[in-house]
Structures are given as structure tokens and as C-alpha cells.
């Protein structure tokens, strides 16, 4: 795949990163040769066939070169989440038999130094940014590492590359461990190359000979969504990858987007929500500005949800886009962006409608680590509102054990489907049925044209004490849509007599730590003012049981309850938590997907109070 890329796109820019404020560019020919150098150095350090190289750090050219170099050398590339604790790093590095770990900087290196002696297979560690603060045998800077294999022959490396088979494992993706220890998802050469080619084309990503796509890399590469989208698809179609700064999610992402002017962009739902909240915050700073944006978005949303032949209804959205919405997209860095993707978790209707109002259609992708990422794709040629799209051509999908409303467990078959879990044969057998279909554990429904809507998760499906099956995501989504001050909503009621809910409020974020703060966002403050409250902080509302806010939230809950399909699906009690969820708080995983079991355990006392006699 890479040789085809070099033959077609060798002189095109492949990787761009900033050094001392200046963009540095690497073309595909140089990128390929640097990956070969990395492979030789890994082999020189003693990387064994089918042993791993762990990569711990933020996205960078070195991350990409380490990943590809590992595969060239016959090893198994294993991403380790940069947010992992030393203990979590140890679990992954030990499980995958890491011969070498590539760490970003001193902060990440410290984690490895704490566990090095307890990793029996670890031979060397490479730090790819900054100078070494400590010296010890087997520890190298990136520059030192890249020189190690200079005497390793090209012929020997070619023999290793040519000896590899399509059905052999080359990548390990560790699940986030929301239900226990992380599982190592084994992906083969065929899984990676086939998915990079077919899924990306289903999303209308273009080969560079037609249009060189440019994207910004910022989501964790340890996660399959970013890895397929940024790394492997980038090689397949000759994409130009711009690397964001490590503090991208602390506010600098938009600066990179403005400079890179991507043609395609992917975000997890929480990223799109944060962008939405930021736009609302900026527009709230002036009444005229807010009203103008509200008008422009409403006419745009109406047009996008139901195209009309009425000349006035066609003219007004065009004017709104020219005068207002195009400026918002330019501010966001999306002036040239043709495709906007969302994946890794369910996205709310509110967020979809908000961006549709900006003339930005969010194309949902759906899959798992176990399907090499996207098995179901939306795109310009296959899109339906609130649907994830259709199965990628060449893949199959079915719903098992459908209920009367057409909801069933989503099952997969095709060349995206993984080899199995590393060192977990029993777990592997659990997810496949006798006919070879992979069972996702997710619930969905499919229309006559094959468009999929994910409606819940089997493990998250709430079964009340009365035997009622309740899908939490739909109710949580409805609550957030009904009550604009709510940031997160978690439904509770499994084996309980009634449903209850934990709520968090929209608050500002510490840009250094990404920790939620006490101050409410501008949108939340405006909500308070509209309902007659003077509160500007979460603690004021929670500590004083602010009556106007509590009354307004109850009214929102009542509105949601009025549309419930049965009394058993009504929310009887709720509580506001003192702080919003975060990765550091443990309530969210690396892709900002909420961890229900952590939340239920962490706020156990609040939950039990709902059901106390």
C-alpha cells in the first residue's frame, strides 16, 4: 500500500508539523524512507517477530513513523493512551509483550521508568520529543534511535516485509476498559488495508490524483477511529496530514484548523458539542449578533431538513449563508471543509441540528475497534438525518433478535472484522456466533434502504424491576435537548422500581487541565436569567437549591415524561451533581465517552438516596 502511494504521490506533502512556530513538511517519499529507517532501528534494538512496539504520546510525525516502522519490521504496533496511568501502561505493555516503547516526552517517560523493571520483554525506550533528563542503558532520543539501524541492510528489511502475510496481526487496539481490563483487539494487514481503502471511499474521501485531502490529526491515535482516518487512510489516498498542538482540545485546535484549512474533519461527539458551546458563547456576547445568528441558522435548518421549491424559502437561506453562516465557518477553520464526520459515540439530535443550521452536515460513522473502525458510513452520497449511514460496500450487517418495533442487536460480517482478542480466547468466542457474525452489543433499527440508527446498548439497556426494557440514550438525549443548561444526563433504573437521573450543568473548562470549573458557561447563565435566577456558578445552584433553576429543570423533565411510551419510562427523581464529567475525573474515557459503571460507583450515595424508603 505504501509503495503504491509513493509511486503515485511521492512528491506531495504528506506530514506537516510545527517547530518553533514554523510549519515543516515531509513528502511521501521522505516519509516512506524515514519509516524504513525506524524499522531498521527497531530491528537493531531486538524487536522480535509478532512482539510489540508501544507508542505513548500525542499525535506527531514520529508517532506515524514508529507505527509504520513497526509494521515494516514485522512487529505489532500498539498505541497506549497518553492519559493512561503508569499502572494502565503496564497492563498494556505487559499484555502485548512490548519489546520497545516510544514515549513522547519526559512526562510520558516517567510513567515507563516507574514500571520498566517489571516488564520482562522490554528492551529499550525511545523519547521522541525533548531532551533526556536521565541517562540509562536502553534509553534513546529520537535522533539517536534513527541512527541505530543505519548499517542494517535494505535487502534484509525487504525480506522481512515480503515475508508478511495479509492474515497476520500488525496492529493492536486496546479497548478503553469500560467493563473491566482493556482487551487487545488484533487487526491484520488485510483488516487495515481493506478498511482504509473501502470505508474511506464510502465516506467520499478522494484519492490525491483527484483532490488531495487535507486533515488535522488531533484525536488519540490509540483509538481505531483516528488511526484509520489519519494514519492508514492518509497513506492509501495520499492525504496531507497536519498535526495539531498537544493542547489542541484546550483551545488551540481552531488555530490549526484556520491554518490548515482541512477538506475533511472528524470529531467525536463531545468535540462537536464543545465547538457548539463555544459558538453559542461568542454569539451570546451581543443581543443583535445572537438574533442574527439565530435567524440565519433557523432558515438554514428549515431548508436542510425539508428542501422547498418556494423561491423565498430558497433565497433566504442563500442570503443567510453568504452574510452570516459562511463567516462562522471561516472562524472555525471550515471554509474549505467538504466533509465533517462524527464517530466513536452516539451524537445528540441537538448537536446534529445545530451544525445543520450552520450548513454543516455531520456524517456519522459507526463501528468498533473490532471492525477496524467504520463498518457503517454516512457521506455526501449516503446520508439520512439521525442515521449512521449504510454498511460499507463489501461488508454485511444484520439485526439479531428483533423486537416488535424492529430494534435488534447489530451484527457484522466482512473484511473489517478483527482476528480476535489477544490472550483472550474465551472472550473472542463470546462475541462471535456459530455462523461467524460478530455481535456488537449495540441495539439498532434499519430502514428499508439499509440506513442504520443506533438506539442503545445491550449492556446499557435498563431493565426495571417491573421488567420494562428502557434504552437510556434516547431519554438522555431528550433531556439534554429539553433543558439547555444540562451538559450530561445519566439515566438509572436497572432492577429498580423506577427511573432516576443524574445531571451535570454546562460549566467552563480549565484550559490547562481540561477539568470542569465551577463557573457556568454563557449559555447556562443566559438560561438562568431567562428562568429568573441570578446564579453564575454550579455551586450556587446546587448548594442553595436555586428554586428558579430547579423548577425549570423539573418542567423540562415533565416535558420529556409527557412523551414517554409508558409510565415505567418516566423519570421520577433526579439530582444535579456538583461537577461536570471529565477524563481526569474518571467518568469519561479517552474519546470522551461516558463510563456508566464508574459514574454509578462514584455517585453511589446519590443514587441510593433516590431509592431509600
DSSP secondary structure string for all residues of 372-405: TEEEEE-BTTB--TT--BEEPTT-EEEEES--TT
Rounded Cα distance between 348 and 468, Å, is 24
* Closest listed residue to residue 213, CA positions, set 265, 252, 141: 265
pLDDT digits (tens, 9 = 90+) for 553-581: 999 999 999 998 888 899 999 999 999 99
Kindly tell me if the per-residue pLDDT of 315 is higher than 60.
yes
Residue 215 in contact with residue 262, Cβ under 8 Å?
A: yes
Rounded Cα distance between 492 and 5, Å, is 50
What's the grid cell of residue 539? 455551586
Rounded Cα distance between 609 and 180, Å, is 26
User: What was the pLDDT predicted at 196?
Assistant: 95
Kindly tell me if the per-residue pLDDT of 457 is higher than 80.
no
Q: What is the CA radius of gyration of the chain?
A: 25
User: What was the pLDDT predicted at 577?
Assistant: 96
Kindly tell me if the per-residue pLDDT of 350 is higher than 90.
no
- Region of 345 on the Ramachandran plot (φ > 0 left; ψ -120 to 50 alpha; else beta): beta
Percent of the residues in the chain that have a pLDDT greater than 90, as a whole number: 74
User: What was the pLDDT predicted at 313?
Assistant: 67
User: What was the pLDDT predicted at 178?
Assistant: 53
| Distance spanning both ends of the chain, measured CA to CA | 64
Count of beta carbons in the 10 Å neighbourhood of residue 347: 23
pLDDT digits (tens, 9 = 90+) for 472-518: 888 998 999 999 999 999 999 988 889 999 999 999 988 777 789 99
pLDDT digits (tens, 9 = 90+) for 204-259: 999 999 999 999 999 999 999 999 999 999 999 999 999 999 988 888 999 999 99
8-state DSSP, 117:
G
8-state DSSP, 537:
B
What's the grid cell of residue 5? 502511494
Q: Which residues of 542-555 are buried (b: 16+ CB within 10 A; e: fewer)?
A: beeebebbbebbee
Q: What DSSP letter does each residue of 541-554 carry, written as one string?
A: HHHTT-HHHHHHHH
Place of cell 503504491: 4
Exposed, middle or buried by CB within 10 Å (0-12, 13-18, 19+), for 464?
middle
Under the banding of pLDDT at 50, 70 and 90, the label for residue 584 is confident
User: What was the pLDDT predicted at 13?
Assistant: 97
What's the grid cell of residue 571? 423519570
User: What was the pLDDT predicted at 312?
Assistant: 61
Average model confidence (pLDDT) for the chain? 92
Under the banding of pLDDT at 50, 70 and 90, the label for residue 353 is very high
What's the grid cell of residue 322? 453568504
Rounded Cα distance between 197 and 218, Å, is 21
Q: Which residues of 416-447 are buried (b: 16+ CB within 10 A; e: fewer)?
A: bbbbbbbebeeebeebeeeeebbbbbbbbbbe
* Closest listed residue to residue 195, CA positions, set 226, 163, 233, 239: 233
User: What was the pLDDT predicted at 469?
Assistant: 75
Rounded Cα distance between 62 and 221, Å, is 12
DSSP, collapsed to helix, strand or coil, labels residue 101 as strand
pLDDT digits (tens, 9 = 90+) for 180-192: 678 999 999 999 9
Q: Which residues contact 497 (CB under 8 A, 6 or more apart)?
A: 464, 465, 466, 611
Kindly tell me if the per-residue pLDDT of 179 is higher than 70.
no
Q: What DSSP letter does each residue of 196-222 carry, written as one string?
A: HHHHHHHTTPPPTTT---EEEE-S-TT
Residue 382 in contact with residue 366, Cβ under 8 Å?
A: no
What's the grid cell of residue 176? 478503553
Residue 365 in contact with residue 388, Cβ under 8 Å?
A: yes
Rounded Cα distance between 432 and 417, Å, is 10
Under the banding of pLDDT at 50, 70 and 90, the label for residue 309 is low
DSSP, collapsed to helix, strand or coil, labels residue 25 as strand
* Closest listed residue to residue 581, CA positions, set 504, 517, 490, 512: 504
Q: Kindly report the pTM of this predicted structure.
A: 0.83
DSSP, collapsed to helix, strand or coil, labels residue 153 as coil
What's the grid cell of residue 431? 462475541
Average pLDDT of 308-336?
85
Residue 521 in contact with residue 529, Cβ under 8 Å?
A: no
CA atoms within 13 A on the CB side of 222: 26
DSSP, collapsed to helix, strand or coil, labels residue 607 as helix
Average pLDDT of 289-303?
90
Residue 337 in contact with residue 359, Cβ under 8 Å?
A: no
Amino acid at each position: 500500500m505504501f509503495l503504491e502511494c509513493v509511486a503515485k504521490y511521492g512528491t506531495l506533502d504528506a506530514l506537516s508539523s510545527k517547530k518553533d512556530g514554523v510549519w515543516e513538511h515531509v513528502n511521501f517519499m521522505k516519509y516512506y524512507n524515514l519509516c524504513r529507517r525506524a524499522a531498521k532501528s527497531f530491528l537493531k534494538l531486538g524487536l522480535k517477530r509478532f512482539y510489540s512496539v508501544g507508542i505513548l504520546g500525542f499525535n506527531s510525525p514520529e508517532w506515524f513513523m514508529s507505527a509504520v516502522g513497526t509494521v515494516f519490521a514485522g512487529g505489532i504496533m500498539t498505541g497506549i493512551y497518553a492519559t493512561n496511568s503508569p499502572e494502565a501502561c503496564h497492563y498494556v505493555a505487559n499484555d502485548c509483550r512490548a519489546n520497545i516503547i516510544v514515549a513522547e516526552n519526559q512526562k510520558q517517560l516517567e510513567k515507563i521508568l516507574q514500571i520498566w523493571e517489571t516488564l520482562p520483554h522490554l528492551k529499550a525506550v525511545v523519547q521522541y520529543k525533548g531532551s533526556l533528563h536521565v541517562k540509562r542503558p536502553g534509553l534513546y532520543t529520537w535522533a539517536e534511535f534513527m541512527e541505530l539501524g543505519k548499517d542494517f541492510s535494505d535487502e534484509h528489511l525487504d525480506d522481512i516485509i515480503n515475508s508478511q502475510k495479509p492474515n497476520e496481526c500488525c496492529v493492536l487496539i486496546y479497548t478503553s476498559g469500560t467493563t473491566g481490563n482493556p482487551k487487545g483487539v488484533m487487526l491484520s494487514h488485510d483488516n487495515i488495508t481493506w478498511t482504509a481503502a473501502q470505508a474511506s471511499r464510502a465516506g467520499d474521501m478522494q484519492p490525491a490524483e483527484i483532490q488531495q485531502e487535507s486533515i488535522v490529526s488531533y484525536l488519540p491515535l490509540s483509538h481505531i477511529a483516528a488511526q484509520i482516518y489519519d494514519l492508514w487512510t492518509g497513506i492509501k489516498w495520499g492525504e496531507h496530514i497536519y498535526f495539531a498542538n498537544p493542547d489542541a482540545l484546550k483551545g488551540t485546535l481552531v488555530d490549526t484548523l484556520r491554518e490548515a484549512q482541512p477538506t475533511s474533519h472528524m470529531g467525536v461527539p463531545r468535540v462537536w458539542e464543545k465547538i457548539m458551546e463555544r459558538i453559542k458563547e461568542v454569539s451570546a456576547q451581543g443581543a443583535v449578533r445572537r438574533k442574527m445568528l439565530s435567524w440565519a441558522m433557523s432558515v438554514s435548518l428549515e431548508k436542510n431538513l425539508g428542501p422547498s421549491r418556494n423561491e423565498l424559502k430558497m433565497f433566504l437561506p442563500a442570503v443567510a449563508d453568504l452574510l452570516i453562516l459562511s463567516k462562522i465557518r471561516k472562524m472555525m477553520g471550515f471554509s474549505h471543509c467538504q466533509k465533517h464526520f462524527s464517530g466513536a459515540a452516539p451524537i445528540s439530535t441537538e448537536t446534529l441540528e445545530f451544525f445543520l443550521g450552520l450548513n454543516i452536515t455531520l456524517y456519522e460513522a459507526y463501528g468498533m475497534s473490532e471492525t477496524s473502525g467504520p463498518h457503517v458510513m454516512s457521506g455526501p452520497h449516503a446520508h439520512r438525518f439521525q442515521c449512521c449511514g449504510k454498511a460499507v460496500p463489501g461488508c454485511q450487517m444484520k439485526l439479531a433478535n428483533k423486537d416488535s418495533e424492529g430494534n435488534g442487536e447489530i451484527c457484522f460480517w466482512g473484511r473489517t472484522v478483527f482476528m480476535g482478542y489477544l490472550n483472550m480466547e474465551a472472550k473472542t468466542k463470546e462475541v462471535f456466533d456459530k455462523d461467524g457474525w460478530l455481535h456488537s452489543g449495540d441495539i439498532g433499527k434499519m430502514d428499508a434502504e439499509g440506513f442504520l440508527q443506533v438506539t442503545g446498548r445491550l449492556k446499557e439497556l435498563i431493565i426495571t424491576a417491573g421488567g420494562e426494557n428502557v434504552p437510556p440514550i434516547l431519554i438522555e438525549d431528550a433531556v439534554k435537548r429539553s433543558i439547555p443548561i444540562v451538559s450530561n444526563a445519566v439515566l438509572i433504573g436497572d432492577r429498580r422500581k423506577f427511573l432516576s437521573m443524574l445531571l451535570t450543568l454546562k460549566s467552563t473548562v480549565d484550559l490547562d487541565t481540561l477539568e470542569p470549573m465551577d463557573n457556568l458557561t454563557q449559555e447556562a447563565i443566559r438560561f438562568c436569567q431567562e428562568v429568573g435566577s441570578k446564579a453564575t456558578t454550579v455551586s450556587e445552584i446546587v448548594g442553595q437549591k436555586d428554586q428558579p433553576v430547579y423548577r425549570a429543570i423539573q418542567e423540562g423533565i415533565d416535558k420529556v415524561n409527557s412523551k414517554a411510551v409508558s409510565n415505567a419510562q418516566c423519570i421520577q427523581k433526579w439530582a444535579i451533581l456538583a461537577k461536570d464529567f471529565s477524563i481526569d475525573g474518571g467518568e469519561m474515557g479517552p474519546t470522551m465517552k461516558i463510563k456508566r459503571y464508574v459514574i454509578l460507583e462514584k455517585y453511589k450515595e446519590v443514587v441510593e438516596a433516590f431509592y431509600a424508603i
